[in-house]
Amino acid sequence: MASSLASPLLFANPIYHFRRRAFAVSALAEDGSCSSSANSSQQSTKLVTFLGKGGSGKTTSAVFAAQHYAMAGLSTCLVIHSQDPTADYLLNCKIGTSPVLCNNNLSAVRLETSKLILEPLNRVKQADAHLNMTQGVLEGIVEEELGVLPGMDSIASAFTLERLQ
């Protein structure tokens, strides 16, 4: 009876033609679908995303999928876009805003949209302070007042994933 309840994701044999590919597993908290896409390069990278309503198990599924791919010998990066500590607890690893090696073949990173937006703003402010092009106008921009437009979370995440590759 226990074998019929076991998750096929955790116990299935790895697919051998994917053995040399790298995986990025992402858990996002937006719409209600699950998708995967591949970029063709010399070593193809797979991107697997888990989307759905809050509390539907996206983070847990993403962690289990990442562990499965890592145990299958694939270089895997788990990208978490929520502040929920579930992934930290399941991996027994503190996930920060820069990639952290959790296990063999498994690293994890947490994306924070506010930091993704503020980082370029701070670089522009530093350049402006050096060049004095805007005559101090940028200093009036308070980071807390910057709003995140709908859809910007996904755009910032996609941009960061592109940089991580």
Domain ranges of the chain: 2-110, 115-145
pTM for the whole thing?
0.56
Give Rg (Cα) of the chain.
Answer: 19
Provide the pLDDT for residue 47: 79
> Could you give the CA distance from residue 69 to residue 60 in angstroms, rounded to a whole number?
14
Tens digit of pLDDT for each residue in 47-68? 788 888 888 888 999 999 999 9
Confidence of residue 24 (pLDDT cuts 50, 70, 90): low
